[in-house]
Amino acid sequence: MASIKAASTLSVDGQNQCLKAAQDCGLYEKCGSLRSEYVVACTKRVTASDNSCNRQKCHKALRRFLERVPEEYSFALLFCPCSDTLCGERRRKTIVPSCSYEENVKGEERAGKPNCLSLQNYCSRDELCRSRFADFQHNCQPSPLSASGCMRESRAMCLKAYAGLIGTIMTPNYVSNSSTEVSQWCTCDGSGNEWQSCQRILHMFSNNICLRNAISSMGISAPPPAENTPVPASQPPPRIYQERVHVRVNTLPEFNSMEDSEEVDREEEESEEFNVIPPYSEKDSNTESGDTGSQRGAASQALPVLPLLLLSAFIPDWEC
């Protein structure tokens, strides 16, 4: 952290983007306060005689920073593009590697790297680490046939999943001050017949085209448009869309009333089509009305018969 504090006195010359990102974070109250919180937690020594830190508190403060600070500030600190080693050193020490993942024995003496399989086994027993490592494997799955290099075609989701591992036992980081290559702080020495399984864990970070392209894209001012294309809004059915247009655009009440009457008529026609068989009471009433009508029709047909009979009875008298 001493080199980071010393570099903060330098002026931004347009190339040290990591310094600019730190200054922007300091201007934003939430980012500045949470960043100071995890720096204190990760640099505070447990005792004066021991140079070790409280890794659990350091991890918790790192996770709080990445979860609560907007990505435009936190990602600018983690993935700032660098063209010189001074910027690269600042970027690598952003998450305080001396406490977040490196091991101390006594004083400044460094312990050897742990085995990658041991880290994975420890991570699998922790619910948070297990879920975040699975999320990283899902969203950063490489694909040489994809334009972005990612199977899911989303470099932004890969960066988010990568950042989710920071603050866990599987915390990754840059391997040097002069490249964007990242890796786990672990080794495959002593893996025995599980050496290939151990190598697969390392290659998820060091030989991952999806992750490499995602980190490199942070230095591009205009990201690929394919990933930022908004999802088109769902269009309503044509009839509903026309009704909405009439309500918003048409100011003639007569047209709306006609449209409403047509809809009422259409609904009545549809109701008649579905009510083909009338209810029992209606059927009886229709039958009774039909009988009455038939009687009236028969009576009306019988009325003209009587005058004709009478007329035929008087005709012989007239001839005589």
Please list the residues that pair with 110 across neighbouring strands.
104
**Which residue is listed with tokens 């085995």?**
115
Fold for domain 113-220?
A: Annexin V; domain 1 (1.10.220)
How confident is the model at residue 47, as a pLDDT? 79
| More confident position, 167 or 317 | 167
Predicted confidence (pLDDT) per residue in 10-36, tens digit: 434 555 899 999 999 999 999 999 999
Domain ranges of the chain: 1-111, 113-220
Q: How far is CA 21 from the centre of its chain?
A: 26
How confident is the model at residue 63, as a pLDDT? 97
Going from the C-alpha of 174 to that of each of 2, 155, 274, the distances in angstroms are: 18, 18, 72
Q: What number of CA atoms fall less than 13 Å from residue 257's CA on the CB side?
A: 3
For residue 23, the surrounding DSSP H or E stretch is helix 17-27
The mean pLDDT value for 29-53 works out to: 90
User: Any residues with CB less than 8 A from the CB of 70 and at least 6 apart, and which?
Assistant: 31
Percent of the chain past pLDDT 90, that is, above it, reads 52
For residue 174, the surrounding DSSP H or E stretch is strand 172-174
Predicted confidence (pLDDT) per residue in 167-220, tens digit: 999 999 999 998 899 999 999 999 999 999 999 999 999 999 999 999 998 865
| More confident position, 95 or 217 | 95
Predicted confidence (pLDDT) per residue in 116-131, tens digit: 999 999 999 999 999 9
How confident is the model at residue 110, as a pLDDT? 55
**Ranges of H-type helices in 180-304:** 195-206, 209-216, 225-228, 238-249, 253-274, 280-302
How confident is the model at residue 25, as a pLDDT? 97
Measure the N-to-C terminal CA separation of the chain; round to a whole number of Å: 148
How confident is the model at residue 197, as a pLDDT? 95
pTM tops 0.75, yes or no: no
Q: Distance (Å, rounded) from C-alpha 143 to C-alpha 212?
A: 12
Q: How far is CA 60 from the centre of its chain?
A: 25
User: What amino acid occupies position 245?
Assistant: V
SS3 150: strand
